[in-house]
Amino acid sequence: MKPPPAPSETDIRDPDLRAEMEQARGTPEFADVLRYLGTKQRMRDSGQIQPSQPRLNLDQIRDPDLLKRVEGIKPGDRIGEHSIRAAIDEQARRDQKAAYLAKLKPIARRRELVRDSLAEPFSDENRYFVHSVLATCGLPYKKPAEGQGEYLSEYGRSSLVVQAGYLKDPASGRMIKQGLPYGPKARLLMLHICTMALRQNTNEIEIADSMSAFIRELGFEVTGGARGTISQFKEQLHRLAASRMQIGLWKGDTTTTISTQPIEAFDVWLPTDPDQKMLWNTRLIMDEKFFRTLKVHALPVDMRTMRAFAHSAKQIDMVLWLFARLNQLEKPVPISWATLKTQFGRDIQSRDRKFRQSFSDDWKAIEEVFPKLRTRLTDNGILLHPGDGDVLLVPAKRVLPARK
């Protein structure tokens, strides 16, 4: 039998074999090593043997869920080795993702995480609720001027009037003026309070153990101090608890005006130190009239999306407006720039051109989270598409039983 021809260096292609060849280069045994590696390369090419796999290193796996996945796999277990390699690959993918996220600014990082979470199936724990009038009319975007005690907002057939009120300070025993609720945190708190009431089917809500978890869930750190997140959420919770609201509903030939104080009783004064224990009851009671109208006019919201826009009151209002409008459409509906400015520019003293630019920037942030959204900006405003309601991932709300 004729022996195979002596291999050339170009015949050695697999990286591990070429590494061996380079290691032997310059030694007296180089020709013998080259023949051996050539034979090994031909056997691999013909399928007689498989390339050797790199040695498994369990130290490359750090995440608890991946470690649990490979727990108990014994050496020599071929099937188990596949699981270990899959876990190592997954850890490497996660590490690469973490390195990418670390380079992003906080807002961009939050959007990226939300986009990833939206790939997961919708679950009941993601379904939150807010009163539809609060969703479409909205609270002030920015802190109102000193002394401003009233705020009016209208949208379509709905109207909302908010009036500032007082709370009793447990430290001094004095009634303290709280001012009007405003900004993204007031909106997120109303989402939380409305959802707690509807989930428990009661207007008496315990918030002792849920507020810090809620702040973390939104992607905020729980921090103390005058500028910490606890102080910021506490201020808006106080303003909401003290405020009075009038909700106006117009049904063509009839109107209904509901005068209410959404939070009827308030027994919590949150500490500024995240480690400080509560020294009093942490309970609020939602006004019965507000609770009844909430059960009729509750708008379901996918809370995962709210995390992406938790820094911007205007973007929250835009997404809530989309939630409210898109599921009601039967055909595409154009909305003019003038209407959009009336809806989303009420707190912005700017020219039409500046408003369009500001709205366009906010819309890009929404498209970033919902890349499949067909609704598009046009030269004349925005064109809403009925099918986009499915893209927002919020199923129809569950009908709640009447309270006995």
Q: Among 117-126, 379-388, 390-399, name the most confident range.
A: 379-388
pLDDT at 79 over 70: no
Could you identify the residue written with the tokens 């993601």?
A: 126
pLDDT at 30 over 80: yes
Could you identify the residue written with the tokens 């209208």?
A: 154
Phi–psi pair at 157, nearest 5 degrees: -100, 10
Instruction: Encode pLDDT of 55-70 as tens digits.
Output: 667 788 888 888 888 8
pLDDT at 354 over 80: yes
Q: Of the given ranges (106-120, 280-294, 297-311), which has the lowest mean pLDDT?
A: 106-120
Rounded Cα–Cα distance for residues 197 and 295 (Å): 9
Residue 278 pLDDT: 41
Rounded Cα–Cα distance for residues 107 and 323 (Å): 22
Residue 347 pLDDT: 66
pLDDT at 203 over 50: yes
Rounded Cα–Cα distance for residues 245 and 197 (Å): 18
Q: pTM of this prediction? A: 0.70
Q: Strand pairing partners for 377?
A: 382
pLDDT at 388 over 80: no
More confident residue, 235 or 77: 235
Rounded Cα–Cα distance for residues 92 and 62 (Å): 10
The domain ranges of the chain are 9-45, 58-103, 113-391
Mean pLDDT of the chain: 81
Long-range contacts of 36-41 (CB under 8 A, 24+ apart): 37/7, 37/12, 38/4, 38/6, 38/7, 38/11, 38/12, 39/4, 39/7, 41/7, 41/11, 41/12, 41/13, 41/14, 41/17
Residue 402 pLDDT: 43
Residue 274 pLDDT: 54
Rounded Cα–Cα distance for residues 314 and 182 (Å): 11
Confidence band, pLDDT 50/70/90 cuts, at residue 169: confident
Confidence band, pLDDT 50/70/90 cuts, at residue 275: low
Confidence band, pLDDT 50/70/90 cuts, at residue 359: very high
More confident residue, 343 or 401: 343
Q: Of the given ranges (42-51, 162-171, 277-286, 297-306), which has the lowest mean pLDDT?
A: 277-286
Q: What is the mean pLDDT of residues 72-91?
A: 76
Confidence band, pLDDT 50/70/90 cuts, at residue 397: very low
Instruction: Encode pLDDT of 123-143 as tens digits.
Output: 778 888 999 898 889 899 999
pLDDT at 183 over 90: yes
Largest separation between any pair of C-alpha atoms in the chain:
107
Confidence band, pLDDT 50/70/90 cuts, at residue 246: very high
Do the Cβ atoms of 307 and 219 come closer than 8 Å? yes
Residue 328 pLDDT: 76
Q: Of the given ranges (144-148, 150-154, 168-172, 175-179), which has the lowest mean pLDDT?
A: 168-172
Rounded Cα–Cα distance for residues 99 and 328 (Å): 42
